[in-house]
Amino acid sequence: MKRNPSGPGYFILILILSVVCLSMVYPFLNLFFISISSIAKANEAKGLMLYPKEVTIFAYTYLLQYPNLANSYFNTVFITVVGTTLALIMSSLGANVLARRDLPGRGIITTFVIITMFIGGGLIPVYLNMRSLKLLNTLWVLILPAMISTWNMLLLRNFIMAIPVELTEASRIDGCGEFRLLVQIILPLSMPILATLALFYGVGRWNEYSNTIIFNSKASLQTVQVVIRRMYTLANVEVSSMSDDLVNMPPLDTIRAATVIFTTLPIICVYPFLQKYFAQGIMVGSIKG
């Protein structure tokens, strides 16, 4: 039966999807409109604005002038890029080994790997371990311990196990070594799940907050999330104390909106390039194997 793309059913479907899409996009647009509106209009809006009024970048100017923000932004970018890259490399190596059907004791090894998802060493042992490795007050303390997520590695393992065995066996017969097999055959076929894991790891590294507070005490090594949280806290204190500097400070609503835009925009810009792989990667990686 041939479907009519101009029928009422398609019109209703497009209308429903448009409403759903708008409900997801509008909160972000609302924050953006508030962040670039004047103080008076932002106060009048009371948290709901359909379009920007009396456009100004006062909130972003206040945000960018905050001490140590630029350095913390560089730290976060470094942690995200390097941490995600190393995490993908280590996860790929571990998943490729666990996906080998001829691996002796594969079931036992996989069980021990899964146990790490439920049992951890605790905060104090981890802190003492980081101190003994001389990783405290370095950016590497936010990268190296989190190089492998057990759940993400298992997703990649399941995806690799879904690759036809005949393909890998034929490659080995043709003289393809294990490293070449991984780099030239397995990983290119695993691009959907790799893109999905890159998004998972990237978002996790970008939002690094608690580990920064615990393991880094130097101001020069703080991440942007920590610095912006401190800035927002100080802004609340200034408002509550009604200091004389209040006239030179944007309202809390515009500060809040500007910080959300400032910290989420990079991830939002990256997501469209990965979203076409996301559904395929997460579905195949979670049910196959």
pLDDT tens by residue, 6-49:
667 777 888 888 888 888 787 888 878 877 777 677 666 666 77
Q: What is the mean pLDDT of residues 251-259?
A: 73
- Report d(CA 235, CA 191) in Å as an integer: 44
Model pLDDT, residue 245: 47
Structure tokens at 282: 């997460």
Give the Cα-Cα-Cα angle 240, 241, 245 (nearest 5 degrees): 105
How far apart (Å, rounded) are the C-alpha atoms in residues 264 and 34?
A: 16
Most confident of 22-26, 99-103, 142-146, 235-239: 142-146
Which of 56, 164, 43, 47 minimizes the C-alpha distance to 101?
A: 164
Could you tell me the two tokens for 14? 């497009």
Retrieve residue 20's tokens.
């759903």
CB atoms within 10 A of CB 277: 18
Cα separation, 195 vs 245, in Å, equals 46
Q: Tell me, what DSSP letter sits at residue 76?
A: H
Among residues 155, 163, 157, 159, which one has the least CA distance to residue 200? 155
Taken in order 226, 231, 232, 238, is the CA torsion positive or negative? positive
Q: What is the pLDDT of residues 136-182, one digit of tens each?
A: 888 899 898 888 888 888 888 888 888 887 777 787 777 777 788 88
- State the DSSP code for 250: -
In this structure, are residues 285 and 158 in contact, taking their beta carbons and an 8 Å threshold? yes
Half-sphere CA count of 209, side-chain side, radius 13 A: 9
The DSSP code for 247 is: G
Sign of the C-alpha dihedral, residues 10, 14, 16, 17? positive
| Residue 268 near residue 146 (C-beta atoms within 8 A) | no
Residue percentage of the chain with pLDDT more than 70? 81
**Mean pLDDT computed over every residue of the chain:** 79
Sorted by where each starts, the structural domains of the chain and their CATH numbers stand as: 1-56 (no CATH), 57-287 (1.10.3720.10)
pLDDT of residue 7: 65
What pLDDT does residue 55 have?
A: 74
Give the per-residue pLDDT at 277. 64
Query: Cα–Cα distances in Å, from 150 out to 108, 119, 209?
Result: 15, 12, 21
86 pLDDT above the threshold of 90 = yes
pLDDT of residue 244: 47
Lowest mean pLDDT segment, chosen from 86-90, 172-176, 233-237: 233-237
**Location of structure tokens 């899964």:** 114
